[in-house]
């Protein structure tokens, strides 16, 4: 049965009132991820906006067991949780590692790659706000070409984003998915599916960030929708090598076409200084990825 707003787990594990900014889509994503795991989970979190969301001792905004771990160590921390639970004969708990793009693409890639190569049995969620937001918005390996950040303050970033999803797929892990916080039911279903699979499972979650990307905090959902409609992100999953488009990306592939990426870029202050050449380059990247997706898709 498809998940809808009515049959979604009612229980909340992310309690009302946390320290994220207004309009933060991380909060939204985390809420649905925890719902999907229904409390039978141990979470490990590195330094990030999520640390802030979790609150300040002795008050926390989550109702699941959690360990905060140093920035680089998320994949290893998850490995340790899995190993400890296994050593103690506990089979009923899912281990969830959840890190920002910095904690995944950059400083955390070694521990994550090592764990994926060892096929450690946990779900790794990367929530991607395309920058180091916790430290005030500096560039990361996921900051897009042309985007202004604290360390690309005038010219914008001169390099393209790292393709982390491809990197994770190349590890030969059983499940890789791309989701968006702004499409919570699709995200929820992906986490539910991941939960039933053994081995390292990687879910990339696009998380628009109003202050970092410079758009109004009431526009978070619209930003995610635009991202999907323009092909800036594609919602899909790869299960044992079989590629499926999902949710709005599947609909676009079935009927219609992508809107120009310019429409997405123009909505955000971080692209104020982007050049025409950069827009064309980004459009070409989007087109190429969309073509790759259509070439691989098995569910149309």
d(CA 43, CA 273): 39
Q: Phi and psi dihedrals of 206, rounded to 5?
A: -70, 125
**Which residue, judged by CB position, is nearest to ligand TPP in the bound state?**
100
CA 287 to chain centre: 21
d(CA 171, CA 222): 33
Interface pick for ligand TPP out of 23, 75, 100, 224 (rule CB under 6 A): 100
When CB distances are held under 5 to 8 angstroms depending on the partner's kind, the choice from ligand TPP, other proteins, ligand SF4, none that residue 132 binds is ligand TPP
> Taking the complex as a whole, how short is the minimal distance between the CB of residue 78 and other proteins, in angstroms?
7
- For tokens 């899995």, the residue is 82
- 47 near ligand TPP (CB under 6 A): yes
Beta strands 242-245 and 123-128: pairing type? unpaired
Interface pick for ligand TPP out of 132, 206, 236, 243 (rule CB under 6 A): 132
d(CA 243, CA 237): 6
Residues 220-279 that bind other proteins (CB under 8 A): none
Instruction: Give the contact letters, 72-111, x = binds to other proteins (CB under 8 A), - = no.
Output: xx-xxxxxxx-xxxxxx-x--x----------------xx
- The residue among 71 and 297 lying less far from ligand TPP, judged by its C-beta, is 71
Beta strands 175-180 and 236-239: pairing type? antiparallel
Q: Contacts for 81-88 with beta carbons within 8 Å, 24 or more apart?
A: 81/42, 81/44, 81/122, 82/120, 82/121, 82/122, 85/42
Give the residues lining the site for other proteins (CB under 8 A): 39-42, 44, 51-52, 54-60, 62-70, 72-73, 75-81, 83-88, 90, 93, 110-111, 113-114, 117-118
Give the residues lining the site for ligand TPP (CB under 6 A): 47-49, 71-72, 99-103, 129, 131-135, 140
């Amino acid at each position: 049965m498809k998940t809808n707003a009515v049959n979604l787990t009612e229980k909340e594990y992310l309690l009302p009132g946390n320290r994220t900014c207004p309009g933060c889509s991380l909060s939204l994503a985390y809420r649905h991820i925890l719902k999907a795991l229904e409390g039978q989970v141990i979470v490990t979190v590195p330094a990030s906006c999520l640390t802030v969301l979790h609150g300040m001792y002795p008050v926390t905004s989550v109702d699941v067991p959690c360990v905060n771990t140093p920035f680089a160590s998320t994949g290893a921390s998850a490995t340790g949780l899995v190993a400890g639970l296994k050593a103690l004969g506990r089979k009923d708990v899912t281990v969830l590692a959840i890190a920002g793009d910095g904690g995944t693409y950059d400083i955390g890639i070694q521990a994550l790659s090592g764990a994926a190569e060892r096929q450690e049995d946990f779900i790794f969620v990367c929530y991607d706000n395309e920058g180091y937001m916790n430290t005030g918005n500096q560039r990361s390996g996921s900051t897009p070409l042309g985007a202004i950040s604290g360390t690309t303050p005038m010219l914008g970033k001169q390099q393209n984003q790292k393709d982390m999803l491809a990197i994770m797929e190349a590890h030969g892990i059983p499940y890789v998915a791309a989701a968006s916080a702004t499409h919570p039911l699709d995200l929820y279903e992906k986490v539910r599916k991941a939960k039933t699979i053994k081995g390292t499972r990687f879910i990339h979650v696009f998380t628009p960030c109003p202050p970092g990307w410079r758009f109004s905090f009431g526009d978070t959902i619209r930003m995610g929708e635009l991202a999907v409609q323009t092909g800036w992100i594609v919602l899909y999953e790869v299960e044992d090598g079989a590629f499926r488009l999902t949710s709005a990306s599947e609909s676009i592939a079935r009927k219609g076409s992508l809107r120009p990426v310019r429409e997405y870029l123009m909505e955000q202050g971080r692209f104020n200084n982007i050049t025409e050449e950069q827009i064309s380059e980004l459009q070409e990247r989007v087109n190429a990825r969309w073509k790759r997706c259509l070439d691989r898709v098995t569910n149309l």
